[in-house]
Amino acid sequence: MATAYDNFAAHIAELNDILCSISVLKWDARTQMPHGGAETRGHQLATLSRLSQEHFISDKTARLLDAAEAEIASEDPDSYRVRAVRQTRQYFEIIRKLPLDLVGEKAALEPVSEGVWAAAKQNNDFASFAPYLQKQVDLARRQADAIGYAEHPFDALVFEYEPSMTASKLRVLFEGLKVGLLPLLREIVANDKPLEKDLWMREYPLDKQKAFGWEMAQKFGYDVNRGRLDIAPHPFEISFTRQDVRITTRYKLNYFPMALYGTLHETGHALYEQGVDPSLTRSALAIDFLGKYPVGGTSYGVHESQSRLWENQIGRSRAFWNAHIDRFRHYFPEVGAEVDPEFMYRAVNRVRPSLIRVEADEVTYNLHIMLRVELELGLMDGSLKVADLPEVWNAKMEEYLGVTPPDDSRGVLQDIHWSGGGFGSFPGYTVGNVMSAQFLEAARRDVSGLDASLEAGEYAPLLGWLTENIYRHGRAFSGSELLIRTTGNDLTVEPYLRYLRAKFTDLYALPL
Amino acid sequence: MATAYDNFAAHIAELNDILCSISVLKWDARTQMPHGGAETRGHQLATLSRLSQEHFISDKTARLLDAAEAEIASEDPDSYRVRAVRQTRQYFEIIRKLPLDLVGEKAALEPVSEGVWAAAKQNNDFASFAPYLQKQVDLARRQADAIGYAEHPFDALVFEYEPSMTASKLRVLFEGLKVGLLPLLREIVANDKPLEKDLWMREYPLDKQKAFGWEMAQKFGYDVNRGRLDIAPHPFEISFTRQDVRITTRYKLNYFPMALYGTLHETGHALYEQGVDPSLTRSALAIDFLGKYPVGGTSYGVHESQSRLWENQIGRSRAFWNAHIDRFRHYFPEVGAEVDPEFMYRAVNRVRPSLIRVEADEVTYNLHIMLRVELELGLMDGSLKVADLPEVWNAKMEEYLGVTPPDDSRGVLQDIHWSGGGFGSFPGYTVGNVMSAQFLEAARRDVSGLDASLEAGEYAPLLGWLTENIYRHGRAFSGSELLIRTTGNDLTVEPYLRYLRAKFTDLYALPL
């Protein structure tokens, strides 16, 4: 006979099915759909989204939750069952608190606001976007008030993306990074020299780029029986349960790192999703309830820690190029004959302060994020006005990176996030970078011979440790809990700064 | 203010959204999905299917229907609004009549039965499949009883696929075909000679095959901004509203007609779907309620009439090869240099009695269907036992086609239809062939210079007539109504027999 927990789980499994269906429709829209299908696809997504909302915020969910809670009351609080019920309850209460008119206004504003932003970016016209951004700020503050917070309205927003993070923790985090990164960046810039060979004037056939990236993804451990690789202008990873985890990348004929590292980045996300324990498939621990998104990873930050770890700490390592230069030469024999692993290692690790976040290197990337988070904090607590954003943006770019955007399109208008009201999502990128170094230090501590295996281009020991300690748990534990379980510490910048200092001091021959 | 009809239409539009979402998931499963995703995709499809059922068979639908019926009571009975409401009511009542346990048993049996059939076909083991086929027969008869019928239980089943067809009409239809086709086939077989050049020993690069087929599809009028072409082992056309109508084909390196005519066949289906009036998008007249399928075409037969018309009457015509031999030579220069249009015309119109329906030519195809329909009628009225099927199948093959299957895999086990309980769907293929000739005769009567345009490889005049008279109406009129509106007659075999006699008498140099 079905237990109360079984009934609860079956109901949530259906929610998972609907959310996965929505993701299939989104993947299709971004990679396969002919453009004539956009409008009716929008209707299909809206209807499924409404159905998922009705399914979750229902009296049936409330009844099933009550019964399941009674049944599991005395079980291990760290068990997946208890975590599944507890998190469902937590998000059920939060979502029920959100006023229906607020939810409706947000949903209606998003496509309009994103359209205005896209035009404003194209025309370098911040003024036309400002009123819509103001509406998004107002809605976000109303949402923060509805959810509630102890210290800063931002706390209620960042909760959706990184439940263990708050405004005050972020201030400490970025202060630590700033102190470590700004002097390092200044030294690097002073020591910068052009590469002896201009690698990016060559042509790298797209089918070879795809084959090389795909081979490396599989080397890392990506299971192609549960995934595939497509082209998308804005690359992403998306999963419809751990059994079907797809990635995308984009190609530039004369600049192979875009496709390769895009593929390895999304492969990191995919390894996380594919590594979730099979028992969590279709469960509450594979759902982001607030984001209405079926996902096995526990938060934006932890997810990003894995894409960054595989892309940067593994893919941009000296060991990677030592191990795989032969495969590079196989696909690109002409360039391959001219270069050695050490040259490749230097070529894919150039540091250059630049205007655009998504093109930034490992050292400058977090400064772009810091700037955005500081502005979001100001917008949310009212200390910064929307109208002042461009000026403050440009001043901070000059202060942190030493460059000033020539126009708002390459400045405050460059990212889509705010136009969709996604305040609170930016910290995940930096939290991920910082966590990645903590996790890799812990793996080195636990797995003897880890570096020897990486030098040999063998990733099973690393993937095994990550799966055992992080991936398999799905969303059962928060980022903070995972860090404490694996490293003994909560989030801390020192391992990450150690990693960057060691790598770039060596690469740029700086005094240690 | 929204009218009662508006409210009804909005509710049905959501049903259409859910059904289109299901179709996207099915298309993905057949063309893109990694095989690891099959099991969870099954759950996603089952959940959406259940939601679509709940959405339709609800008190809300009943209320909205009542109100809409009152509002449109005095409107033109042939208007799209009245037809939409009337058909929704008709299927609402039928589906409510189906006992829930019957629906549940059918849904549970289908995947099991299909699995047993696939294994039985592989192992040439009819006996292992027989008990499952018996269950499907029993369920189909219970379904016929629940729906109700005047003369023959088959009438209640064929209604799902061809609402204007009955067992007695089918007997008349096939008797007419038999009298016309059997003598023609005997004469052709007696006159058969091999082609002078063995075209099917060459290699036709797959990318060239795709490009040629795709160019011809666009020549016919397929709008690629609302469609795409993929590979599938069992080719199909599928639409998620008229705005996104996709086709698939399959390729064989040394036999280009498979991909080309597969593409043109599915293009015929796609032209129909793309040609539905935009006002019917997301409406009740774009839903097959019994099949739970979003489709703009009015029935299996009318749909098949369009795939057959474009594939056979246009694509396998002398005019087609006269008009496009240069494009064939462009893609396949070596073979192209050796052949002229007349040779190509003969090569793609070979008639050969064979064992397998899906490989049959224009003359023998309907004999394969006749055999199946005769057996279905016997199974449904109890005059034929499941155990006797192989023997009767083989005897009829010998009688109609002069060939005897060496095993059941190439005999009674070849088609998937019965394993899924799809009794009543086979007639659509022949009804479509017969209708296609009636429609083309009507188009020739109405459009002056139609043949001159076809000789010139211009298809806009034909597509325009078909769109105006058939496609745009969606499912507003039945096949029978469309025939009477365009030709003045209901279904009749004479135009089709005239077409076949003229074409193959000429090709095989038979006495007229």
ipTM over 0.90: yes
Q: What angle do CA B147, B149, B154 make, to 5 degrees?
A: 90
Select from B21, B44, B225 the Cβ nearest to the Cβ of A34: B225
DSSP H or E segment with residue A277: none
Q: Is B182's pLDDT higher than 90?
A: yes
DSSP B339: -
Q: Which of A444, A431, A447 is nearest to A482 (CA)?
A: A431
Residues from chain A that touch B276, judged by Cβ atoms under 8 A, are none
The pLDDT value given to residue B499: 98
The pLDDT value given to residue A197: 87
Which pLDDT tens digit goes with each residue over B253-283?
999 999 999 999 999 999 999 999 999 999 9
The pLDDT value given to residue A201: 87
pTM of the model: 0.95
Over residues B76-97, mean pLDDT: 96
Q: Which of B83, B73, B74, B65 is nearest to B481 (CA)?
A: B83
The pLDDT value given to residue B512: 66
Taking each helix axis as running N to C, give the angle between helix B4-31 and helix B59-72, from 0 to 180 degrees, rounded to the nearest 10.
130
DSSP, residue by residue, A9-24? HHHHHHHHHHHHHHHH
> How many beta-carbon contacts under 8 Å exist across A and B?
111
CA distance A331 to A313: 23
Q: Does A44 sit within 8 Å of B243, measured CB to CB?
A: no
| Total residues found in chain A within this entry | 512
Over residues B181-208, mean pLDDT: 93
Beta-carbon contacts of B31 under 8 Å, excluding residues fewer than 6 positions away, are: B230, B231, B232, B248
Mean pLDDT, rounded, of chain B: 96
* β-bridge mates for residue A249, sequence order: A231
CA distance B445 to A16: 56
B228: its two tokens: 């795409």
Q: Is B134's pLDDT higher than 80?
A: yes
pLDDT category of residue B111 using cuts at 50, 70 and 90: confident
* Catalytic annotation, residues of A: 266
The SS3 assignment for A118 reads helix
Q: How far apart are the CA of B24 and the nearest CA of chain A, in angstroms?
A: 7
Q: Does B20 sit within 8 Å of A24, measured CB to CB?
A: no
Mutate to test the interface with A, among B16, B21, B31, B237 (most CBs of A within 10 A): B21
The pLDDT value given to residue B511: 81
pLDDT above 90 covers a percentage of chain B that reads: 95
Q: Does B37 sit within 8 Å of A240, measured CB to CB?
A: yes
Which pLDDT tens digit goes with each residue over A405-425?
999 999 999 999 999 999 999
Which pLDDT tens digit goes with each residue over A335-386?
999 999 999 999 999 999 999 999 999 999 999 999 999 999 999 999 999 9
Which pLDDT tens digit goes with each residue over B285-324?
999 999 999 999 999 999 999 999 999 999 999 999 999 9
User: How would you list the strands of the sheet with B245-249, edge to edge?
Assistant: B229-231, B245-249, B237-239
Q: Does B224 sit within 8 Å of A37, measured CB to CB?
A: no
Over residues A427-437, mean pLDDT: 97
Give the β-pairing of A237-239 and A229-231.
unpaired
CA distance A459 to A450: 9
Domains of chain A: 1-97 (no CATH), 167-507 (1.10.1370.30)
Chain B, nearest residue to A44 by Cα: B17
Select from B13, B25, B36 the Cβ nearest to the Cβ of A226: B36
The pLDDT value given to residue B301: 97
The pLDDT value given to residue A271: 98
User: What sections of B124-234 are H helices per DSSP?
Assistant: 126-147, 153-158, 167-191, 206-220
Q: Does B240 sit within 8 Å of A34, measured CB to CB?
A: no
pLDDT category of residue B41 using cuts at 50, 70 and 90: very high
Beta-carbon contacts of B476 under 8 Å, excluding residues fewer than 6 positions away, are: B78, B80, B83, B84, B280, B285, B298
Q: What is the 3-state secondary structure (H, E, C) of A460-490?
A: HHHHHHHHHHCHHHCCCCCHHHHHHHHHCCC
Residues from chain B that touch A48, judged by Cβ atoms under 8 A, are 17-18, 21
Which pLDDT tens digit goes with each residue over A223-268?
999 999 999 988 999 999 999 999 999 999 999 999 999 999 999 9
Taking every pair of C-alpha atoms in chain B, what is the biggest distance, in angstroms?
Answer: 72
Chain B, nearest residue to A17 by Cα: B44
Over residues A148-162, mean pLDDT: 95
Q: Is A1's pLDDT higher than 90?
A: no
Over residues A85-91, mean pLDDT: 97
The pLDDT value given to residue A512: 66
